[in-house]
Amino acid sequence: MKTQVCIIGGGPSGLMLSQLLHLKGIDTVVLEKHSREYVLGRIRAGVLEHGFAELMREAQCGERMDREGEIHDGFYIAHDGQLDRVDLKKYSGGSSVVVYGQTELTRDLYEARDRMQGKVIHNVEDVALHDIDGKAPYVTYRDGDEIVRIDCDYIIGADGFHGPSRKAIPRSVLKEHEKVYPFGWLGVLSRTKPVSPELIYAKHPRGFALCSLRSQVLSRYYIQVPLTDSVEDWPDAAFWAELKARLPQEVADRMETGPSIEKSIAPLRSFVAEPMRYGNLFLAGDAAHIVPPTGARGLNSAASDIYYLYHAMVDHYLNGDDTGLETYSQKALARVWKAQRFSWWMTMLMHSFPDAISYDQRLQQTDLDYLFSSDKALGSLAENYVGLPF
Ligand code: FAD
Ligand code: DHB
């Protein structure tokens, strides 16, 4: 098989790039390890920044997002028994975010790829990258007993944190920066009315909590839990009781509870791999960087990589200009690090750290006091949350 761009990974990054390139007449093949049902069964991000929503529209995949997604002009920070609102629109100079689940967005991208007869191959095994720093790169995968070879001009590693693409870059070239946090998030999806029309990020001595939503009848809640906990430690009743205990009383009192329809624990990690290009391989999204979910940056950081790669590929194939490809790593990393900084800051601000000394706790409190006493501090929070320009 032959293609111009071979994309490893059929998550949002890979599908979005494939769709955008297709619309410009650039041929791609997407290789996905899992079945479509499996990919669509993963409940992940919920908040899209303005630039991501624009990219969905450019990919001709924005129709359902515009119909069913909710525009949010603000969110709340709960602390010390009170709720303070962050007016995103006011403090960011007019921007907002779209609340639309990653599952729905991925479904829209798959449907668009189907409509245009895009090549998305599922259940591929043993994906391997070859000759990435040579003139004739290719990718192989196993389909039953057969080894299939795809010759291409470029390989995109959009295969998430555990995929093979990043690992194909020699250790002597790749620098990895990692910070792990001493807790995870336990997430629950339930068919209940959301407790608040806007998200609530709650700081509490018992630990962080987040009230989010997917629609007016579907709620998504998270609580900070120790890394040693497993889902079995959290039957529904225990989850709801702990969530309520971390929220201001008036919020807890109006919380509608019900059976969980999904429950999972995600450890928190900050991670960046540099460079994001090696030879003809370009890394994108979680393959190159991970953020703790506190600032809702994970999926949005993937989107900015795709934006840069899309324009770089279009310039290469349609205009004969390679500047975008040559500067991809540098440009993408500049924005990636800003998302890292913001996610780290919001994580440090909002969580309870098991080894925090009283000095750390007072600084955390002061950071919060400062935030709500300074329009400039709120401006910084808002411009990062709605997404820095690409
Ligand atoms: P992925 O979505 O990981 O997609 C990569 C794809 O590559 C997957 O479909 C995978 O199956 C495939 N793949 C892997 N290995 C291979 C292989 N060998 N061959 C072929 N294909 C392969 N972000 C937020 O903003 N908010 C959140 O609440 C949030 N929650 C999260 C919870 C969890 C458990 C995780 C893991 C992430 C969460 N994120 C969240 C982050 C966000 O979901 C990711 O940033 C986003 O999915 C990145 O998209 P991606 O396409 O780059 O990677
Ligand atoms: C969601 C997840 C986040 O990490 C976040 O910051 C906001 C919302 C969510 O899943 O809805």
Domain presence at residue 302: yes
Domain presence at residue 186: no
CA 355, CA 94: separation in Å to the nearest integer? 40
Pairing of strands 146-151, 154-157: unpaired
How far away, in angstroms, is 24 Cα from ligand 1 center?
26
Match 């750290």 to its residue by tokens: 353
- For the chain, give the percent of residues with pLDDT over 90: 99
CATH code of residue 27? 3.50.50.60
With both helix axes pointing from N to C terminus, report the angle between 375-385 and 358-371 in degrees, rounded to the nearest 10: 90
CA 280, CA 168: separation in Å to the nearest integer? 11
**Interval 156-208: pLDDT, tens:** 999 999 999 999 999 999 999 999 999 999 999 999 999 999 999 999 999 99
- The residue contributing the CA closest to ligand 1 atom 41 is 298
Domain presence at residue 78: no
CA 390, CA 54: separation in Å to the nearest integer? 11
Residue 54 lies in domain: 5-70+96-178+269-350
| Positive/negative CA dihedral, 200, 272, 105, 342 | positive
Q: What is the mean pLDDT of the chain?
A: 97
How far away, in angstroms, is 11 Cα from ligand 1 center?
6
Q: For 75-102, what is the mean pLDDT?
A: 97
User: Model's pTM, two decimal places?
Assistant: 0.97
How far away, in angstroms, is 117 Cα from ligand 1 center?
24
- The residue contributing the CA closest to ligand 1 atom 3 is 160
How far away, in angstroms, is 26 Cα from ligand 1 center?
24
Task: List the beta bridge partners of residue 83.
Answer: 78
Domain presence at residue 90: no
Question: What is the helix (H) or strand (E) element at residue 356, kind and residue range?
Answer: none
Domain presence at residue 212: no
Domain presence at residue 223: no
The number of the ligand 1 atom at minimal distance from the alpha carbon of 297 is 25
Q: What pLDDT does residue 276 have? A: 98
Q: For 290-316, what is the mean pLDDT?
A: 97
| Per-residue DSSP letter, 99 | E
Query: Are 247 and 200 spatial neighbours (Cβ–Cβ below 8 Å)?
Result: yes
**Interval 221-240: pLDDT, tens:** 999 999 999 999 999 999 99
Number of domains present in the structure of the chain: 1
CA distances from 316 to 7, 138, 231, 250, 329 (A): 17, 19, 47, 56, 16
**Interval 321-354: pLDDT, tens:** 999 999 999 999 999 999 999 999 999 999 999 9
Ligand 2 pocket by C-beta < 6 Å: which residues?
Answer: 45-47, 199, 212, 220, 293-294, 296
Question: Would you state the torsion angle of the CA atoms of residues 337, 292, 379, 377, taken in this order, to the nearest 10 degrees?
Answer: -100
Domain presence at residue 110: yes
- The residue contributing the CA closest to ligand 2 atom 11 is 46
